[in-house]
Amino acid sequence: MNKAIIGRKLGMTQIFSPDGKVIPVTVIEAGPCPVVQIKTVEHDGYQAVKMGFGETNEKALNKPELGQFKKAGVKPQKYLKEFRFEDIAAYEVGKNVTCDVFAAGDKIDVVGITKGHGYTGVIKRWNQHRLKETHGVGPVHREVGSMGANSSPSRVFKNKHLAGQYGVEQVTILNLEVVKVDTARNAILVKGAVPGPKGGIVSLRNSVKA
């Protein structure tokens, strides 16, 4: 990985290619992302670039958080993320990373947090079938069903698909294509869908498996 940026998912729309085909795209407000810190192997044990996104009020941060922004000479940022680049020579503390690091046709990976659906049952969470709608099955037909274990081992095995929290987990979509980069609006149009709700924070990086 040698280039990346933080952005905000604005929603989906569609554009037309020169030959008239409809392309579904996700609009992402990408950057500008000031470089807050550059970590090196000698000082930190690994090399990475820490970027910020989304200006915020100083009152929303504590003194240690404000200190790193003052040291870097950038305005307080709401979101921070580290990227482990192979080459960090192109980055400088205090400089902005903008959406023009990517160009139309680039292959990228998009990392985001999926929509939260709260506490859900096994049918919605794991796509399991209902129980039979016949006599002797009730009084409910959407429960998890047999746990599979009797007196031995007298417990439910780990990782069994049960009801619980659905969503709000980090998901990476690989090998998406950049359709258009609008530097005037700090926008990147990505072909297809990306994880998260409207307004969700995502990170874009050049594809690692292209």
Q: How many domains would you assign to the chain?
A: 1
Q: Is position 188 within any domain?
A: no
In this prediction, residue 189 has a pLDDT band, given cuts at 50, 70 and 90, of very high
Q: Is position 104 within any domain?
A: no
Q: Is position 147 within any domain?
A: no
**What's the whole-model pTM score?**
0.84
Q: What Å distances lie between residue 183 and 45, 97, 137, 210, CA to CA? A: 35, 12, 60, 25
* 3-state DSSP of the chain: CCCEEEEEEEEEEEEECCCCCEEEEEEEEECCEEEEEEECHHHHCCCEEEEEEEECCHHHCCHHHHHHHHHHCCCCEEEEEEECCCCCCCCCCCCEECHHHCCCCCEEEEEEECCEEEEECHHHHHCCCCCCCCCCCCCCCCCCCCCCCECCECCCCCCCCCCEEEECCEEEEEEEEEEEEECCCCEEEEECCCCCCCCCEEEEEECCCC
Q: Is position 131 within any domain?
A: no
| Mean pLDDT value across residues 81-104 | 89
pLDDT of residue 135: 86
CATH number, domain with residue 53 = 3.30.160.810
pLDDT tens-place string over residues 13-62: 999 988 999 999 999 999 899 999 999 999 989 999 999 998 999 899 99
pLDDT tens-place string over residues 166-185: 999 999 999 999 999 999 99
Q: Is the pLDDT of residue 149 over 80?
A: no
Q: Is position 179 within any domain?
A: no
pLDDT of residue 146: 78
The boundaries of the domain holding residue 57 are 32-97
* Phi and psi angles of residue 188, each rounded to the nearest 5 degrees, phi first: -120, 130
Q: Is position 202 within any domain?
A: no
Q: Is position 68 within any domain?
A: yes
pLDDT tens-place string over residues 116-138: 999 999 999 999 999 888 888 87
